[in-house]
């Protein structure tokens, strides 16, 4: 009997200094909770632009009429709006700001510039904040 019954149990606890693993694609695209860094933000924005460009290009190549292209683009644009809000809100969370800051883009010119600088160029909190720990 080499086991000490009076020894405290061992547990792997998060010390709050590092990232807690990677984020899944489903969490990235559809959840409004959590945080993402600048790199993942820019990759998401690039993915949205490339995906929409390829979609419209394919519709043009197969010879779909302009009115049908417009309708299909509108149908595809609805989930893209959701995805862009989800990505932006997680980026605002990384800056330790509420997701409601996404509405700053409604202010003409200044709002979009502000959001671009805050989300695209300024670093987020290095440690944990009220929205969680940094994600990879």
Q: How far apart are CA 83 and CA 6, in angstroms?
A: 51
* Rg (alpha carbons) of the chain, rounded to whole number: 21
Give the per-residue pLDDT at 23. Answer: 86
Residue 17 has pLDDT above 50, yes or no: no
Separation between Cα atoms, residue 41 and residue 28, nearest integer Å = 9
Residue 14's pLDDT is 52
Comparing 115 with 23, which gets the higher pLDDT?
Answer: 115
pLDDT digits (tens, 9 = 90+) for 83-119: 999 999 999 999 999 999 999 999 999 999 999 999 9
Q: Which range, 5-9, 15-19, 57-61, 107-111, has the best average confidence (pLDDT)?
A: 107-111
What pLDDT is recorded for position 123?
92
**What is the model's pLDDT at position 63?**
82
The residues, any chain, with a CB within 8 Å of residue 26's CB and separated by 6 or more, are: none
Q: Residue 79 has what pLDDT?
A: 93
Ranges of beta strands (E only) in the chain are: none
Average pLDDT of the residues of the chain: 87
pLDDT tens for each residue of 38-76? 999 999 999 999 999 998 888 888 888 888 888 888 899
């Amino acid at each position: 009997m080499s086991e000490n019954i009076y020894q405290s149990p061992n547990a792997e606890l998060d010390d709050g200094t590092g990232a807690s693993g990677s984020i899944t694609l489903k969490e990235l695209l559809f959840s409004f909770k959590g945080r993402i860094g600048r790199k993942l933000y820019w990759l998401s924005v690039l993915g949205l632009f490339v995906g929409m460009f390829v979609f419209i290009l394919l519709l043009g190549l197969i010879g779909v009429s302009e009115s049908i292209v417009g309708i299909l683009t509108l149908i595809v644009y609805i989930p893209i709006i959701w995805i862009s809000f989800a990505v932006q809100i997680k980026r605002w969370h990384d800056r330790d700001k509420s997701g409601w800051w996404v509405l700053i883009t409604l202010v003409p010119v200044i709002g979009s510039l502000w959001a671009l600088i805050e989300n695209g160029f300024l670093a987020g909190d290095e440690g944990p904040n009220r929205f969680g720990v940094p994600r990879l």
